[in-house]
Amino acid sequence: MDKKQKEIVKIVVPLFILGIISFIFDQKVVELFQDFQNSFLDKLFNFFSSTFFIGGFLILILIIMYIIKKDHRWIAPLITSVVLTFIVIYLLKFLVARGRPLGNELQILGLMDYSFPSYHTAYIFSMIPILGRSFKNLKVAWIIIGVLMGLSRLYLGVHYLSDVIFGALIALIISEVVAYLEEDKRWFSSKIKIWR
């Protein structure tokens, strides 16, 4: 194993173990977050979970990467990571079909949107490894945004802790594989010329 692979294992293995353990505490965590409800946090976490934030975040990042920073190399991997994460997360949602805490059942396009794993959390975490390579000095900021997204899902009572942890874990694995394909193999930049 090379140094980068060891770093990834140091993140993935503890996160996986934490995810398994979190199933034990899922209901307690839901109850804990329900005890901390207030109007400021309601507004903050509703904003983090809004379609405006979710869509706007990716669009803003792509604009910055393409026009301002001119870092075209990581655009295709970023989009690929988000799309692959979406596919995997929604396949798992329908396979597992876990109900949401507090009976907060949601529907998207007339289909049940189940709890496990959290797509909102996965969405942000699917970008973190790639954004960390494109915007090296902002790695901590990306992680903070990811953690806030996970907390928003818990606070709003639409996910269990295990949903959030496994959403982040799955997204990180997918994104690291995609980043590896570009970083070590130049898979995207050698095949896609339109970004240049």
Q: What angle do CA 44, 45, 46 make, to 5 degrees?
A: 95
Extended beta strands in the chain, E state: 106-108, 111-113
**Given the structure tokens 């496990």, which residue do they identify?**
116
| pLDDT tens for the 196 residues of the chain, in order | 677 777 777 777 888 888 888 889 998 998 888 888 889 998 988 888 888 888 888 888 888 877 777 777 888 898 999 999 999 999 999 899 888 887 765 554 445 678 899 999 999 999 999 988 888 888 899 899 999 999 999 998 889 999 999 999 999 999 999 998 887 766 665 566 554 5
Q: What is the pTM of this model?
A: 0.84
Alpha-carbon gap, residue 142 to 140, rounded angstroms: 5
Chain centroid to Cα 86, Å, comes to: 9
**Given the structure tokens 């289909």, which residue do they identify?**
111
**Model pLDDT, residue 109:** 45
- What domains appear along the chain, each with residue ranges and CATH number? 3-191 (1.20.144.10)
Give 132-140 contacts, CB < 8 A, sequence gap 24+: 133/74, 133/179, 133/183, 134/65, 134/69, 134/71, 134/73, 134/74, 134/78, 135/69
